[in-house]
Structure 1
């Protein structure tokens, strides 16, 4: 009997799946703003453009250069979105992803300072370029961090949705704000996720919001998460979401596909559907995403462990 083929080690660098991100990072590190703009302006759709901008915002040490770019051209909404997003990213790393009761007063103070600076930049960028959805998407993150309230978050999302009603990065941000941990409710969160799924075309990525919502509830359910995912509602809605996205022939590997398939892989693994989980791992090959695997522990370890479990229980390779 021949040995089973060696499975590839997962990579969690988004550049592996989306090479344009690597080129954006190199151009920004080289302080080549024309090169950055050419890559971002050449994005195939608004979701890709937003993802490139959000990735650029994570490049370390770019703050002064971005400030200079924006000072030279205050109407450059890409510079505003990247700089605002950069300040949000730095601030959020200081705050950490812990629940509020585990974050120190000093962390909160520094975090809010960065977000207030980002807000001023993003407010100006939105005023100058009100149709730029990437600016509004960043403003959803800053609004949540500054705890400006659901009505303000909704207002910002509605402004964005006027231009892009199926913008998954923005919908994902609003979904977070609708969770109880950010003063929303499960009812609001599930309703929003379902609305987005049904409004989007079949085969679109948006149905993943339904799964993300159930994973958020699983995570928050005080030790009862496994029992929650075993409920008929959770299972049925996860399967419905798969039918409208990753199981639909129209599902495409556009920007964002890696996180979508990883989310379904984790959900299928948690509900014990090894065959369905294995199919997602096979489609992913070596491409992992930290979200949502970090909910279970080390993302790479969990990806490898859950993949082996899925294949070991009869799932196809």
Structure 2
């Protein structure tokens, strides 16, 4: 496995493999890797000849007072995990390498970036879209892999790649969960033991909504109410948002019709903001629903 720190060297690495006719898969991350990230890596390795992982904590997607400095970092462990899972190259640039001068250009998908989490974190998805565009321009992969847990981010990146005719196909990978249902996340490490014990209540509420859906309930307010009822029983969880949206457009739904819908939850537990998602697909069995 190669560890690459400059744009020039990554471009040369990719060019050499392209000359040999190999396909390139790319997994962009901010590090603090866990088994959720490794699910992206395994899917990438299955689909491509060469797997590249980026580890870069992107400052432009953090707003004032947000947790850029507190974001967990453990490069040695990250590199070891990547090595164990057969990654071919890790791109770990410094901030100055990615942003040698103050940015004068930014990318935004307004219809998808200013709602939900984007409403709570103005400018966040502009930072995400811009750094992902830079990474995809540098790595020029055939496919890039993103977790469905960050569902709004996935929607933003998909639309950006489509609108800008980017080379890479954007591949969503189902959410990976802990044994008790909590969505795997780097931020879980910041939960106290007591907070970690109650965190699965969020997913339990989503499962209650899915159970209603499987019996024929299609009213958005009723489905969302099932999640709110579950989280309200745990006073340490503050539900910041809970929505039923169209899976493709993130448009507000009053009822689920014949198109896939997604439940999106953002909650605060102590100092940590947790997000989760669960798709509802008409015609699927409860066991067959995406989780």
Q: Which has the higher helix share?
A: 1
More strand as a share of residues: 2
The verdict on a shared fold, with TM-score over 0.5 as the criterion, is: no
TM-score tier by shorter-chain length is under 0.3
TM-score (norm 1): 0.24
After TM superposition, the score normalised by the length of structure 2 is 0.26
